[in-house]
Each structure stands twice: as C-alpha cells, then as structure tokens.
A = this chain, B = another copy of it.
Amino acid sequence: MARKTKEEALATRNLLLDTAEHLFSSQGVANTSLHEIAETAGLTRGAIYWHFDNKSDLLTALWERVAASLRASFDGEDSEHGQDDPLGKVRLKASYKSRHIESSPQIRALLTILMLRCEFTKETHSAGEYFLREREHAYACVRKDLDRAIAIGQLPASVNAEQAAIGLFGLIDGLCFHWLINPSRFSITTTTLTAIDAYLAGLSQTPSVR
C-alpha cells in the first residue's frame, strides 16, 4: 500500500488515535508500545511516526481531540439567561460536565487515561500540563462563582470562599475519580448532583467557623 487520498490519510490518523485511546485507557500509557498500537490498528509504526512525533505527541493529540469539547461542556453555559444565580450556575456546570463524561466514551477514555493510567512523567508531560491547566481553569470558575454567591448573599459571608471552592472541586473530582475506577457502581450524573446539593446546602446553613 502506498499513498492514500487526504481523506484516507485522515481516517488512518483517526484510527490510530482511536486505537491508542483504547489501549492507553485499558492497559496504561507506559505499558503500551507504539508497535502494539500500530499492530492493533492493522498498520505499522511507520504510520504512527508519519502522523505523530512520538508517544508523547500522540497522547497530546488525544487530548487536543477532546479538549474543546471538554471545555465547552464546562463553561458553555456561563452566561445563560441573565439571572444572577451563581450557585445554580455551579450546579448546572457540574451537571453538564458529569453528563458529558458519562455519555461520551471518548471523554471517559481520556479522563481514565489521565487520572488512572498515566504517570505524569516526561512521556505524558504536555498532555498532563494541559490537563492540570484545565483543572486550574475549572477551579477558578468555581471560585469566582462562590465569591459571587457570597457577594449577593446566596451564601453567608462567614463562608471561606477558597476553602469552600476547594471542597466543592474535590467533591466533583473525587466522584469522577471514583466513578472512573468503577463506572458500573453508580451514575456519576445523579450522584454528583445530589452530593453537590447537599454540600451547597450545608455551606449556606452552617456559618463554617474560621
């Protein structure tokens, strides 16, 4: 086989991405060789090295494939219908995000890779960096919403916004982590929502000391 048309080349590229995503998420990044990816895809390493620089670059490409979608799912509803309801906004964001993770196998696979199947070393450096940066962005959003909630009285002024944001963030992340380990155990969408509701309710009730 030799040169394909542009569409065919793009198809092989996507096939490689799909194959890598599947193998990475099921066996781990370091434990998957480029040879295995190529062979599983019915190709050779030549194809991989044509489309990507190395394993790290391949992983980065996996990230870039879903990054836009992930970001959109989180702050897509940032400026909804004019109402000033930061707490509701946070709730909605978390809901959208969970639903997205639960419904998109691609996002689920990538999160599995980044949270459970890679080591954040040189090999995974750039993708890991992007992931951490995305988390920073998400945290900043949550933090801003909580600040606003305190400002307009949705939360008591005694609430420590930073502590509360870290807790909320940890809650969302922890449920995601737990769900990725054992997806059949519960629905991340509904559980995240109920848990967040409880947490926010607790925040507005107890004037969390200090």
A residues apposed to B, CB below 8 Å: 27-31, 116-123, 132, 160, 162-164, 166-167, 169-178, 181, 185-186, 190-191, 194-195, 197-203, 205-206, 208, 210
Contacts and interface: CB of A to CB of B under 8 A. Distances in A.
B119 A198 contact: no
Contacts of A163: 186, 190-191, 194-195
Contacts of A170: 171, 174-175, 177-178, 191, 195
A185 B28 CA distance: 29
Contacts of A31: 30, 119, 121-123
Nearest to A182: B132
Contacts of A202: 197-203, 205
A169 B178 CA distance: 9
A29 to B, nearest CB: 7
A29 B171 contact: no
Closest 7 CB pairs of A and B: A174-B174, A202-B202, A28-B119, A167-B195, A30-B30, A170-B174, A198-B202
18 contacts: A28-B120, A29-B119, A31-B121, A116-B119, A116-B120, A119-B119, A162-B186, A163-B190, A167-B171, A167-B175, A167-B191, A172-B174, A173-B178, A174-B176, A194-B210, A198-B202, A200-B202, A201-B202
A205 B208 contact: no
Contacts of A118: 119
A210 B187 CA distance: 14
B121 A194 contact: no
Between A166, A197, A203, A206, the greatest number of chain B beta carbons within 10 A of the residue's beta carbon is seen for A166
A89 B22 CA distance: 42
A117 B119 CA distance: 4
Contacts of A185: 166
Contacts of A167: 171, 175, 191, 194-195, 198-199
